[in-house]
Amino acid sequence: MKIAVITNSRIPSLTANSIQAMKVAQALMQLDHDVKMFAPAESEPVSKESLLSHYGLRLIPDLELLPSIKRLKRFDFIFHAQRAAKRFNADLIYTWLPQSAVTGLWAGYPVVLEMHADVSGKMGAWWLRQFWKANGKKLMTVTTSALRNALERSAKFQFKNDSVLIAPNGVELEKYDGLPNPPEARHQLDLPEGLTVGFTGHIYPGRGADLLFELAKQMPRVNFLWVGGTPELVEFWRGKLNDVKMKNVTMTGFVKHERIALYQAASDVLLMPYSRSIEASSGQDIAEVINPMKMFEYMASGRAIVSADLPSIREVLNEGNAVFCEPADVGKWKSAIESLLSDESRRHQLGSQARKDVDRLTWVKREERVFDGFETS
């Protein structure tokens, strides 16, 4: 099948939306679809080799960058994307933009619409309602049941059950095969020896940087590993660490995706310290609906996970494969981490169960479920 993948993410970038779009495109190619991606021309074109390295992929689709003027709210991009899909002779449009989904249905294309956050404003809700009112073969995927509920509230419209699929994010398990044990991984990365508590990902507001800082401050004999973050935020937190002379935190800054698994393997315990309010790169509060890609990576690494206790997180994790803590309760987090660090058997039990549970949550299996759902929608 010839699939036109239409994303509003800047390619390349470090946003979760950009990474997720590329992972989906690769999975579609692994399922032998002919995939072409269309994205806004908001950056200079880069080579396929650069994209493979940036996103840590093995396959990359043909990419066409199309005009996009922000003051036109990207309607020019939507117009150009529809024309490009026609030139490509697409059999199906796969998009994260309700506007592209609706105009695709109006043009007679079958459409898969991915939703990873609630719509914003009256126009966002209007476009979502048009998606459901438009004729044509279609499927909406949402990453959590909580997101489906939020979208129905925003649209003031009850969705058709057979046209909505709850499809959490995924992971490339092959990247996690044959990982070294934590001491060996630390040796390969030239990290400090000793029990290590890790975190990978962005440190935007709501992502838990304040909690990580306080935990490291209260646990000076434990090594903390922070992987990721923009240069500005990394510089800010390094300054705070230096101000109080904390020596037990290693901050790497940005690490290429192909290396993330090894850094996760270097940790004995991995943290997801989300707050009750989480600001996405779009400015939206996504705490109610969050389905972070790092959760699936953590599970694949086979390390013990301590996570903020959020309902959307519990749609994937449970008491058998993770430990949950109230987001703002530093004492509970400290106690949970100390308990795991002193109990290797418990760490192994949680990590092994998480690894088993994530076997069905690969990107390829996800897209197989999407197309099974599309056929029956």
> What is the per-residue pLDDT for 212?
95
Q: Cα separations (Å) of 361 from 57, 162, 163, 293, 368? A: 17, 21, 21, 11, 11
8 A C-beta contact, residue 96 and residue 112: no
Q: How many residues does the chain have?
A: 377
User: In this structure, which topology does domain 2-170+362-376 adopt according to CATH?
Assistant: Rossmann fold (3.40.50)
In the block, residue with structure tokens 């962005």: 202
* Whole-prediction pTM: 0.94
8 A C-beta contact, residue 102 and residue 119: no
Q: pLDDT, tens digit, for every residue of 241-279? A: 999 999 999 999 999 888 999 999 999 999 999 988 877
Q: Domain 173-360 in CATH: superfamily?
A: Glycogen Phosphorylase B; (3.40.50.2000)
> What is the per-residue pLDDT for 73?
64
Q: Cα separations (Å) of 298 from 114, 265, 272, 351, 352? A: 23, 9, 9, 9, 11
User: Which residue ranges of the chain lie beneath pLDDT 70?
Assistant: 71-73, 204-206, 280-283
| Tokens at 40, concatenated | 């806004």
Quickly list H helices, the chain: 16-30, 48-55, 75-87, 98-106, 121-133, 145-155, 182-188, 209-218, 231-243, 257-265, 293-301, 330-341, 344-357, 363-376
| Tokens at 241, concatenated | 């660490």
Task: Name residues whose C-beta falls within 8 Å of residue 243's C-beta, 6 or more positions apart in sequence.
Answer: none
> What is the per-residue pLDDT for 71?
67
Q: pLDDT, tens digit, for every residue of 56-72? A: 999 999 999 998 887 66
- Paired with 94 in beta bridges are 5, 112
Q: Delimit the domains of the chain by residue range.
A: 2-170+362-376, 173-360
Task: Name residues whose C-beta falls within 8 Å of residue 79's C-beta, 6 or more positions apart in sequence.
Answer: 103
DSSP string, 226-259: EE---HHHHHHHHHHHHHTT--SEEE-----HHH
> What is the per-residue pLDDT for 211?
94
Same fold for the domain at 2-170+362-376 and the one at 173-360? yes
Q: In the sheet where 138-142 sits, what is the strand order?
A: 62-66, 34-40, 2-6, 92-95, 111-115, 138-142, 164-166
